[in-house]
Amino acid sequence: MADVRPFRALRPRADLAAKVASPPYDVLSSEEARVMADGNPYAFLHVSKPEIDMPAGTELYSDEVYAKARENFDRFVAEGVLFREDRPAFYLYQQQMNQHVQIGLVAGASVVEYERDLIRKHELTRRDKEDDRTRHIEALNTQAGPVFLTYHARPEIDSLIGRLKASSPTYSFAAPDGIGHTVWVVDSPADVAAIRRAFGAIDRLYVADGHHRSAAATRVCSVRRAANPGHTGDEAYNHFLAVIFPHDQMKIMAYNRVVHDLLGRSPEQFLHEVSTRFVVEPGRKREPAVVHDFGMYLGGAWYRLTAKPESFPSGDPVKSLDVSILQDNLLAPILGIHDPRTDKRIDFVGGIRGLDELEKRVHQGMAVAFALHPTTIEQLMSVADSGMMMPPKSTWFEPKLRSGLVVRPLSD
C-alpha cells in the first residue's frame, strides 16, 4: 500500500502565489536565479537558492548560505507571505503546458516505503548533493522542494481526482514561461479519508524526479528516529513532501548530447566509423521519430542514425535504452567518453530547449550534437522494477514543479 499523509502546509497568500512560486533549485544557476528574483522579494528562490542575496562568489555549501535560507524563510512567515494551514490537508496540483495537462496529489510520502523499495528509484545520487539538501531541510526544519513521484494509473483515482477538482481552485495563474499552475486544497475529513483509501491500494510508487530530495529526507528521518526514544512512526519526519502523478500523464522529453571534439578525426572519418555501428542516412527530419533512432548534427547537416539490432541486448532494461545504446556504441568506443558524469568533453541539453539549441551549440564551437528519442515512462518503471539504475541524464521531465506553493514543516 502507498501510505500517503495529509499535512498542515505552509503556503502563500492567494494574492502572492504567482510571485512566490519559483522553478526548482536545481534547474537554475545562481546567476540565473539572481536575475529571475530581481525586484521580487517574494520569490521562493530567496529560500531555495539563498546565495542570490549574498555576494557573488559565495561558497554555495557554506554555513552562511543555510543560515540565510532560514533567515529568509522566517521573514516569509513573519510577514505573512506564507501562512500555516489550520488543519491537515491534501492538495491537488495541476499544470498545463500548451495542450499537455497533468494533475497530481501533494502529500507526505512514506520514508519507510522508500527504505523498503516500495518507492522505487532509477538514479544514483551524489553525496555532496544529498548533503546539501539534508542541510537545507535541517536549517529550515521544513521540506521546501517536492519530490516528483508517479504510479501506474488507476481509473478509480482518476475519478476521485476529477470529482475533487470540480470545486473552485485556491490558486490559478500562468507563470512567465506560459505554464499554467492550479492548486486545490482538500481538507474535508471525508475527502482526506477517500484519498488515503484510494492510494492505499497502490502497491508501489516511483521516483520520477527528485532523487536527492527524497534521499535527503530519508537521512533526516533516520537521524531523528534514532534520537527519539518515543518514536511512533507518526512524526512529521517519517514522510516527505511529494507530488504524485499517474504514469499516463507524464511528459518526458529527450535529454540530448553535445560533444566538444571528434578526438582528432575529420568529419568524414568520424562518419565512416559511426557507420560501422549504426545505419547512417541523411536526415530528412531532425527529431527521432521512434526509439533506437538518433539525430546527429555534424558539419552543418543532420543525419539519421539507426541502431543495428545486434548492437545492444534488447532484453536488458538499461542496455536497451537509447542513452545506453549511444553511450556504448558511439560516445565511449569512438569518442572516448567513458564516464559522462565526469568527462568535460560532453554536455547535456534538455529537450525543452529544442533542436535549434543543438545547432546553435555546434555553430558556437561544439563538434557534434545528438538528438535522442525520449525515454518512456514504461522504460523508467521497468528499470526501477529491475533494481537497476539508469545512465546519467536519461530523462527530462516537463513541466517542472514550482517550489513554494506548498511546503511541509517538520514541526507540529
**Whether residue 347 is found in the same domain as residue 271:** yes
Per-residue pLDDT of the chain (412 residues; tens, 9 = 90+): 899 999 999 999 999 999 999 999 998 999 999 999 999 999 999 999 999 999 988 999 999 999 999 999 999 999 999 999 999 999 999 999 999 999 999 999 999 999 999 999 999 888 999 999 999 999 999 999 999 999 999 999 999 999 999 999 999 999 999 999 999 999 999 999 999 999 999 999 999 999 999 999 999 999 999 999 999 999 999 999 999 999 999 999 999 999 999 999 999 999 999 999 999 999 878 889 899 999 999 999 999 999 999 999 999 999 999 999 999 999 999 999 999 988 999 999 988 888 999 999 999 999 999 999 999 999 999 999 999 999 888 999 999 999 999 999 999 7
Q: Which residue has the cell 565512416?
A: 272
- The count of structural domains within the chain is 2
Domain harbouring 353, CATH code? 3.30.1760
What does the block give as the cell for 380?
Answer: 523508467
**Whether residue 98 is found in the same domain as residue 185:** yes
Q: Write down the pLDDT at residue 284.
A: 78
**Whether residue 98 is found in the same domain as residue 169:** yes
**Whether residue 201 is found in the same domain as residue 241:** yes
Q: Helix (H, G, I), strand (E, B), or coil: what is residue 313?
A: coil
Centre a 10 Å sphere on the Cβ of residue 124 and count the other Cβ atoms it contains. 11
Q: Write down the pLDDT at residue 308.
A: 94
| DSSP state letter for 203 | -
Question: 166: Cβ–Cβ under 8 A, 6 or more apart, which residues?
Answer: none
Looking only at the bridges linking them, the beta strands covering 10-12 and 147-151 are unpaired
**Whether residue 239 is found in the same domain as residue 272:** no
Integer Cα distance of 372 and 254 in angstroms: 6
Q: Quick check: is 182 in a domain?
A: yes
* Helix ranges, 80-188 (H): 111-115, 127-140, 155-164
**Whether residue 56 is found in the same domain as residue 177:** yes
**Whether residue 82 is found in the same domain as residue 229:** yes
Q: Quick check: is 360 in a domain?
A: yes
CA distances from 6 to 90, 109, 196, 389 (A): 5, 9, 9, 31
pTM exceeds cut of 0.85: yes
Q: Write down the pLDDT at residue 341.
A: 85
Q: Write down the pLDDT at residue 90.
A: 98
Q: Quick check: is 318 in a domain?
A: yes
**Whether residue 237 is found in the same domain as residue 273:** no
Q: Quick check: is 2 in a domain?
A: no
Q: Quick check: is 384 in a domain?
A: no
| DSSP state letter for 7 | B
β-sheet bridge partners, residue 87: none
Integer Cα distance of 208 and 120 in angstroms: 9
Q: Quick check: is 176 in a domain?
A: yes
Instruction: Using alpha carbons, select from 149, 36, 33, 13 the residue that is nearest to residue 93.
Output: 149
Q: Write down the pLDDT at residue 306.
A: 97
Q: Helix (H, G, I), strand (E, B), or coil: what is residue 316?
A: coil
**Whether residue 316 is found in the same domain as residue 234:** no
Q: Quick check: is 380 in a domain?
A: no
Integer Cα distance of 369 and 360 in angstroms: 10
Q: Quick check: is 389 in a domain?
A: no
**Whether residue 239 is found in the same domain as residue 180:** yes
CA distances from 89 to 9, 121, 308 (A): 8, 27, 52
Integer Cα distance of 151 and 364 in angstroms: 41
Centre a 10 Å sphere on the Cβ of residue 216 and count the other Cβ atoms it contains. 26
**Whether residue 187 is found in the same domain as residue 108:** yes
**Whether residue 140 is found in the same domain as residue 288:** no
User: By residue range, what is the domain housing residue 78?
Assistant: 10-251+398-409
